[in-house]
Chains A and B, each alone.
Chain A
Amino acid sequence: MRDRLRPWSWEILLALILVVSIVYNASRSDVYLTGDNFVNLFQLSIEKVIVALIMTFVIINGEIDLSVGSVMAFSAAVMATVSESGLWGVDVPFGVAIVIALLVSLVVGLIHGLVVVKTGIPSLVVTLAGLIGWRGAARVLVEDRSVGDFPQWFGELARDDLVGPLPFTLVLAIVGFAVGGVVLHRTAFGRSVFVIGNNAAVARYSGIDVARIKLRLLATSAFVAGFAGILFAARLGSVRGNIAETFELDIITMVLLGGISIFGGSGSLLGVALSIVIVLNLRNGLTLANVEGQVQTGVIGALLILSVLTRNVAERYLLRPRAASPLEPVPAARASP
């Protein structure tokens, strides 16, 4: 039984933390268990959640995209300026402005991907330049102004309920994770992503087009970030040069705490989904309990270290005294010499 559970141990651990945190929050605050609060809890970070989905693919593939926050801002800035002042003097309908912003994001991603694939420079460095550069490009477009006055339907898209109490963005994220899970864990493409992340050389020998998949993922990453930036603009109602600043760290944290290895090749989307729910849930509970933002992060960090540590110590001293051979459980007595 334990053998079968073993690959899922991280997810089981996360699920346990989740249950504990929900019970704790519910006992601390009487508004916690209200439907509104649950929707709020996700809606406030929904753009990060959507980007975390594609980031999971990118990291499993052995790459990383630090530029997502800046690309969100750039895409939103493109949409806002195009809809405000048109293109080459021609007025552009709002819907077309959105399409242009999405295409620009895709081009941004293709640039990242091509540089990584063609030059062999680590994506960490390329997207770090992107982190600085695309933020700067957003600044060039909107300077110190704020661009707003979007059509009404655009704001409603982000705020109004679509299915029951769930707004469009939340429905989108749920569907996205379901589809993403199938693609990552049940298709040939998903397997290739894992294989490349484990060992790109082996992947190449086994006939996987490594460059093509890396390029696709980095392009999709920027595209999804650009899309999330537009959703974020809808929720905020206006665009400034500083939107989504420092989001990249939160997003990467969600993914890594979900058990995805920073070195690529391992992890599951279920883990990421659980870790997102835990992080948002803990933050929400701590905010309702009036714990300051920075301290919240400290509590979450400590909790994670502690839980992994407890698991390791328990495994080491109670279950198996030897690190190797997880197959044969050893009597606890032998564990402590």
Chain B
Amino acid sequence: MTHVIPTKERQMNIRQLRLVAAAAVIALVAAACGDDGDDAGTEAGETDETDETASAAEGGEDFSSILLPKCTGIAVFDQANEGAQEAAEELGIDAPDFQAPATCEDPTGQIDIMTAAATQGVDAVMISNNAAEQIQPAVDAAADAGVTVVSWDSHLESAEGENLYVSQVDLDETGVVMADMALDILGEEGGQVAILSASPDASNQNAWIEAFNTALAEDPQYENIEVVDTVYGNDEDTESYNQALGLVDSYPDLDLIMAPTTVGIAAAGKAMTDEGLCDQIKVSGLGLPDEMAQYTNSGCAPQFALWSFVDLGYVTMHAAYAIGTGQVEAAAGETFDAGRMGSYTIEEDPTRDSGRLRIVMGPFTVYDESNVDEG
């Protein structure tokens, strides 16, 4: 064996490198765990605060909750979290824990979190459902364990176990708003529209697309608007970007891409801009002003709409607290107070099968050149 005998100096170097490596890993572990510790710290701090503000009229009860969006990394869910934290602070309760699966592609992550919530015995879970009816067994278990389940953004498929749906806007109205934007952009003569959605399994996107198609079919003023295709970008940048350009190539007469998802609309706007297609093909749908401002100002996305996700998270937290503490019964006609957003009355949801309860937050804001920079 002809081993290369390392010199003393090189051995030292190797040793140093190893130490550096070890230190690096330790630092990484420390960073990961450290944050966990921080979380615990803030929680404890806030619990103390709770005691001080416990005198507030309705707030201040011992209340633990989980905010469960579809996945991490999507701006609107972070905004909803912001709103929920704000509400929790006002109510003088522990801030809700923000827990989400790593990707929107794997909906079973939500099932795991819902199941753990039942085990932990938290008071409420606020969910934007991405697992369709597959979350149902986990929701049933949570309901049996006495967990209040409030859905927001994307509702559960079944009313079982769902105490309330906080609807950002009326599902049917969303369809009309999208149809109106299409009409505004295309004008009387209409044209071809293609839909770029999130995943085929997203309850809310599917409901909006259905409402959009219904609106177009029912109202004669939209008769010249033709929907040529629906494609899915799975709320991923790469996929959405490629799908948008695929639509352009497949439909030479395409006039408008309607994307009822913030990821899809931004990717479509960038794709049209990069390929210099903004003169022929416009982009519209549901988008965030921050992410869309450039395309609106350049004329690529003349109009898009959204509601405030901060407000949505805020109202949801108030609703979950009111129902979870038993201060308000989850029944049609009951009214509760949601801080700065005013009061809401629970009603039966006319857009879904009977027996399901909702509140509608509203309103829609339609953004165009005049207001996009303020949004």
Contact = CB atoms under 8 A, between A and B. Distances in A.
Contacts of B26: 306
Given A288-B119, A294-B102, A313-B22, A238 B201 contact: no
Contact of B22 (A144, A244, A309): A309
A254 to B, nearest CB: 15
A246 B103 contact: yes
What is the predominant secondary structure among interface residues of chain B facing chain A? Answer: helix
Contact of A144 (B101, B111, B201): B201
Contact of A299 (B29, B132, B157): B29
B245 interface: no
A273 to B, nearest CB: 21
A112 interface: no
Given A295-B36, A303-B29, A240 B99 contact: no
A159 interface: yes
A55 B36 CA distance: 33
A294 B71 CA distance: 10
B133 A238 contact: yes
A159 B137 contact: yes
Given A238-B134, A293-B109, A295-B36, A139 B200 contact: yes
B199 A242 contact: yes
Contacts of A148: 133
A302 interface: yes
A235 interface: yes
Contact of A289 (B36, B105, B201): B36
B32 interface: yes
B115 A40 contact: yes
A293 B72 contact: yes
A236 interface: yes
B107 interface: yes
Contacts, number: 119
A284 interface: yes
A240 B200 CA distance: 9
Chain A interface size, under 10 / 10 to 19 / 20 to 34 / 35 or more: 35 or more
B206 interface: yes
B115 A242 contact: no
B100 interface: yes
A219 to B, nearest CB: 26
Contacts of B279: none
Contact of A40 (B105, B119, B199): B119
Interface in B1-42: 8, 11, 15, 18, 21-22, 25-26, 28-29, 32-33, 35-36, 39-40
A292 B22 contact: no
Nearest to A287: B116
Interface residues of B, number: 48
A27 interface: no
Given A306-B26, A313-B18, A237 B112 contact: no
Interface in A240-286: 240-247, 284, 286
Nearest to A308: B25
Contacts of B116: 40, 284, 287-288
A199 interface: no
A181 to B, nearest CB: 28
Interface string A103-119: 00000000000000000
Interface string A142-171: 011010100000010001000000000000
B32 A288 contact: no
B136 A237 contact: yes
Contacts of B105: 242, 245-246
A335 to B, nearest CB: 11
Interface in A60-99: none
Interface in A290-337: 290-295, 297-299, 302-303, 305-306, 309-310, 313, 316-317, 337
Given A236-B111, A288-B119, 18 more contacts: A34-B119, A37-B119, A40-B115, A144-B201, A146-B132, A237-B137, A244-B108, A287-B116, A292-B72, A292-B98, A293-B72, A293-B101, A295-B36, A298-B32, A299-B29, A299-B32, A316-B18, A317-B15
Interface of B: 8, 11, 15, 18, 21-22, 25-26, 28-29, 32-33, 35-36, 39-40, 66, 72, 97-103, 105-109, 111-113, 115-116, 119-121, 132-134, 136-137, 157, 199-201, 206
